[in-house]
Structure 1
Amino acid sequence: MIKNNFKVIGVMSGTSLDGIDLIYASFNKSTHWEYAIIYSETVAYSSYWLSVLKQLVSNSKKELQDIDQAYTDYLAIQIQQFIGRYEITDIDAVCSHGHTALHEPDNGFTYQIGNLPKLASLLNETVVCDFRVQDVKLGGQGAPLVPIGDDILFSNYDFCLNLGGFANVSTEVSGDRIAFDVCPINIVLNHYTQKIGLAFDDGGKLASTGTVNTSLLQQLNGLAFYKAEYPKSLGLEWVIQEVFPLIDKEDLPVQDILRTFVEHFAIQISNILPKSKEATLLITGGGAYNTFLIERLKTLSGCKIIIPEPALIEYKEALIFGLLGILKLRGEINCLKSVTGAKKNHVSGVIYSGSK
C-alpha cells in the first residue's frame, strides 16, 4: 500500500547564495496534496563557503570533487543542527536539492554538490536527492524542477514566478505545465551591491535612486537567450560570460547598474505575461521583498500580482523539493518533459538509505 502521509525535511541552496533553506513539512494526500510548513529557517553561509561557492565554475573536476565531499559534510551538520533545534523525531526522508556547481545541459552535463551517499549515513536518515542529472541524460534541461510542484500545489494561480538567483516562471499551456528561466535577477543585483559592501539592495532602495542607462538596457534586452524558445535554463556560467561583461564595460555607478537591471528584469518578465488584469501571478523567492522591483513589474505587466505569506515567499522551493522527494519515494512522475524538454516524463532523483 502506497503511503499518503509524509513528514519530510526539504533542503534548498540557490544561486543567489542567501544560505541553506531548511523546512520541516507535512504532506497529506486525499483527493489532492495538502501541505503544512511546520518549521523553517535559512542558515547563512560563512564567509568561507560564500567564497568557495562563488568560484565553483572556475574549479577543476578534481577540485570540485573535493569541495563536494566537504560540502556534503557541512550540509549534514546544518541539517543535523536543524533537527536538533526543533527536536524533530518523525522524519520519512530528507529531500535535498544540493547546490549547483555546473549547469551545462546543452553539453549533457549538470553537477550539484552535496548529493553524495554519505549524506544519508551521516544523518542516519533516508535521503532523496540529485534530481537534475537523470533529466539531462534524457535530453532535458534538468531545470526548472519546481513547476510540477506549482502544478500540484498552486494550480489556482495562472502563473508562478520565483525570484531567486534567476527568475523562472511556470504556467499551463494547452493542458501541459510549461516553465523556463526568464532572466537572471538576484545573482546580478547582489553581485553589484556586494561591491559596495552591501549584501543586497534592501527593498530596491538603491536601485530606485539610479538612472536607466538606455545603451546597456538595449544590449541586455538583445541577448540571444531571450529570443530562444522554451524549454531553456540559465546558469552562473552564462551570467559570467554574457551579462557581467556587458555591464562592466559601461563603467556605471552601482545605483545605475541596479536601476537598469531592474528595468531589464521587468521588461523580460512582462514580455512573457498576458496583458490582462484578470491573470494572477504568484511571486515567491527573495526578490518578492524588492519593493521597487515589484512596483516596476506591476507597472509594465498589468497582471494581478499576489505576494503570499513570508514562509511561502522564502521556502517555496524547499517545500517543493520535499514534494519531489515524496513523489520519488512513491514511484510517481516528478519531472515533466513539457517543462525540461526531456524525452519523457520520469521519476527523477536517487534514494540513499541511512543505517537505521
Structure 2
Amino acid sequence: MSKHTYHILGVMSGTSLDGIDLAEVFFTLENRRWTYTFGVSETLPYPDTWLHRLQVALHYSPLELQQLNQDYTAYLGGVIAAFIRTHRLQALDAVCSHGHTILHQPQNGYTLQIGNLPEIASYCQQTVVCDFRVQDVERGGQGAPLVPIGDRMLFSAYTYCLNLGGFSNVSFEHQQHRIAFDISPVNTVLNHYAVQLGMAYDAGGERAAGGTLSPELLDALNGLEYYTQPFPKSLGVEFVREKVLPLMQRFNPAPEDALRTFVEHIAQQIARALPLAQGRLLITGGGAYNHFLLQRMQAYLPEMTLIVPDNTTLEFKEALIFGLLGVLRLREEINVLSSVTGAHDDHCSGKVYPWKG
C-alpha cells in the first residue's frame, strides 16, 4: 500500500473502568519506521448506570450478554460520534477501537470484547477497525496482550514497556523475539479496596502507604499458581473475582492494610517478572500516578531507571497503539506477534467495518 500517513482515532476501555480513552493520532511511515503525533485526547468517565452494568456483566447469561453488547455498541458509537463533533475532527481514515473486555477465557478458546458489532460504523459514521482479539484465540493464542508490537515499533528506546492499568503487563525483546505477558492485577484490586474507603481510587497510593503490611497475606498472594506459569499468559477479571479477592477476604484485612499489602505484592511480582533487573523501564497507565507503588518498585529494582512519560503518552498509550494496530490491519500487515500470544503464527487481526454513508 502506497499510503504513508494516517489520521486515526484510537479508542480504548480498560478493565479498571476508568472510562473510555479517545486519542486522535497522526501516523507517518518513513524509511520503514513509524512515528506519531497526538492530536486531541480525552478520557470520558462512565456514567453510574454503565459502570454498574459493566461491573456485574461477568455474571450475565448469554442472552443478557448479547443485549449488553448491542447496547454498549450503540453507547460507544455515540460517545465516539460526539467526540468527533465536539473536536471537529475531519478526514479520519478510521476509528480503531478495542471495545471493552467482559470475558477472557483463552484456555477455553473464548474471549469477548463488547462494542465491536458492525453497527458501530453507522453509529459513529466512520470506518471502524475493531475486535482484534478473537482471531488470535482461534489460532491458539491468548488473545493478549496485543500492545507489544506497538511497543516494538514506537518505543524501542526502552528496555521494558510496563503498563499499570487494571492489570500490569510488560513487553521486551528476548532472544530476538518480542515477549509480553500479564504480570498481576493492579487497579482491579486496588480500586476495590479504595471504594471501601469511600474513594474511587487511592490517589498517589497515600492510603496504602499508611496501611500495615501483612506478611501472611503477602505470602499467600505470591503463592497463587498463575505466578509460576511460563509465558505466554494473560489475566482477566475472572482471576480477580475467583482467586484474588476470595483469598484476601479470608485474611479479612482492613482496607488500608489490604492496599498496603497488595502494593507490595504488585511491586514484588513486577521485579520477579523482569529477566534483567536493569535498563530503562517505561511506565504508563493509571497506576503510574501511584507514587507509593513506584517507590516500592524502585526498592526491588535499584539498578533500573523508572521513566514516567508525559501525561498524554502515560494515559493514552493503549489508545495510541490500538490506533496503530488498526492502521496495520488496513494495510493488511502483521499486527499480532505469536511470540507474545502463543498463537500458531504471526498474523493480521481485526475486523474492518466500512462506513458507506
Q: Aligned partners of 2:185 and 2:91: how far apart in 1?
A: 38
Deviation at 1:95, TM superposition (A): 0.2
Q: Aligned partners of 2:41 and 2:238: how far apart in 1?
A: 30
Task: Establish whether residue 95 from structure 1 lines up as the match of residue 90 from structure 2.
Answer: no
1:256-275 residue pairs with structure 2 within 5 A? 256-274=257-275
Q: Aligned partners of 1:222 and 1:276: how far apart in 2?
A: 22
Match of 1:350 in 2: 351
TM-score computed with the length of structure 2 as normaliser:
0.98
1:138-177 residue pairs with structure 2 within 5 A? 138-177=139-178
Match of 1:72 in 2: 73
Deviation at 1:183, TM superposition (A): 0.2
Q: Aligned partners of 2:137 and 2:49: how far apart in 1?
A: 31
Match of 2:20 in 1: 20
Deviation at 1:249, TM superposition (A): 1.3
Of the structure 1 ranges 146-155 and 191-200, higher mean CA displacement relative to structure 2 is found in 191-200
Structure 2 segments unaligned to the other structure (5+ residues):
none
Q: Aligned partners of 2:117 and 2:236: how far apart in 1?
A: 22
Q: Aligned partners of 1:216 and 1:163: how far apart in 2?
A: 22
Task: Establish whether residue 43 from structure 1 lines up as the match of residue 44 from structure 2.
Answer: yes
Q: Aligned partners of 2:298 and 2:353: how far apart in 1?
A: 44
Q: Aligned partners of 2:165 and 2:264: how far apart in 1?
A: 17
1:210-249 residue pairs with structure 2 within 5 A? 210-249=211-250
Match of 1:300 in 2: 300
User: Could you tell me which amino acid in structure 2 is paired with residue 39 of structure 1?
Assistant: V
Give the conservation status (yes or no) of the 8 Å contact 1:275–1:301.
Answer: no
Q: Aligned partners of 2:226 and 2:13: how far apart in 1?
A: 24
Give the conservation status (yes or no) of the 8 Å contact 2:81–2:125.
Answer: no
User: Could you tell me which amino acid in structure 2 is paired with residue 20 of structure 1?
Assistant: I
Q: Deviations over 1:133-173 (max 9, x none)?
A: 00000000000000000000001100000000000000000
Give the conservation status (yes or no) of the 8 Å contact 1:274–1:301.
Answer: no
Give the conservation status (yes or no) of the 8 Å contact 1:27–1:36.
Answer: yes
Task: Establish whether residue 339 from structure 1 lines up as the match of residue 340 from structure 2.
Answer: yes
Q: Aligned partners of 2:277 and 2:239: how far apart in 1?
A: 32
Match of 2:320 in 1: 319
Give the conservation status (yes or no) of the 8 Å contact 1:26–1:36.
Answer: yes
Q: Aligned partners of 1:319 and 1:176: how far apart in 2?
A: 22
Q: Aligned partners of 1:273 and 1:73: how far apart in 2?
A: 41
Give the conservation status (yes or no) of the 8 Å contact 2:144–2:341.
Answer: yes
- Say which SS state the counterpart of residue 55 (structure 1) adopts: helix
Match of 2:289 in 1: 289
Give the conservation status (yes or no) of the 8 Å contact 1:68–1:114.
Answer: yes
Match of 1:113 in 2: 114
Deviation at 1:269, TM superposition (A): 0.3
Q: Aligned partners of 1:13 and 1:276: how far apart in 2?
A: 31
TM-score computed with the length of structure 1 as normaliser:
0.99
Q: Deviations over 1:283-308 (max 9, x none)?
A: 00000000000000011112111000
Deviation at 1:11, TM superposition (A): 0.3
Deviation at 1:273, TM superposition (A): 2.2
Q: Deviations over 1:238-270 (max 9, x none)?
A: 111100001111111100000000000000001
- Say which SS state the counterpart of residue 226 (structure 2) adopts: helix
Deviation at 1:193, TM superposition (A): 0.6
User: Could you tell me which amino acid in structure 2 is paired with residue 123 of structure 1?
Assistant: C
Q: Aligned partners of 2:5 and 2:24: how far apart in 1?
A: 14
Q: Deviations over 1:10-42 (max 9, x none)?
A: 000000000000011100000210001101000
Give the conservation status (yes or no) of the 8 Å contact 2:271–2:277.
Answer: no
Runs of 4 or more above 6 Å deviation: none
Deviation at 1:276, TM superposition (A): 4.3
Give the conservation status (yes or no) of the 8 Å contact 1:93–1:126.
Answer: yes
Match of 1:134 in 2: 135
**Sequence identity (%):** 54
**Alignment RMSD:** 0.8
- Say which SS state the counterpart of residue 38 (structure 2) adopts: strand
Q: Aligned partners of 2:286 and 2:213: how far apart in 1?
A: 23
Deviation at 1:355, TM superposition (A): 1.8
Deviation at 1:90, TM superposition (A): 1.7
Q: Aligned partners of 1:85 and 1:189: how far apart in 2?
A: 33
Structure 1 segments unaligned to the other structure (5+ residues):
none
Q: Number of paired residues?
A: 355
Q: Aligned partners of 1:272 and 1:342: how far apart in 2?
A: 21
Match of 1:29 in 2: 29
Give the conservation status (yes or no) of the 8 Å contact 2:182–2:234.
Answer: yes
Task: Establish whether residue 7 from structure 1 lines up as the match of residue 7 from structure 2.
Answer: yes
- Say which SS state the counterpart of residue 89 (structure 2) adopts: coil
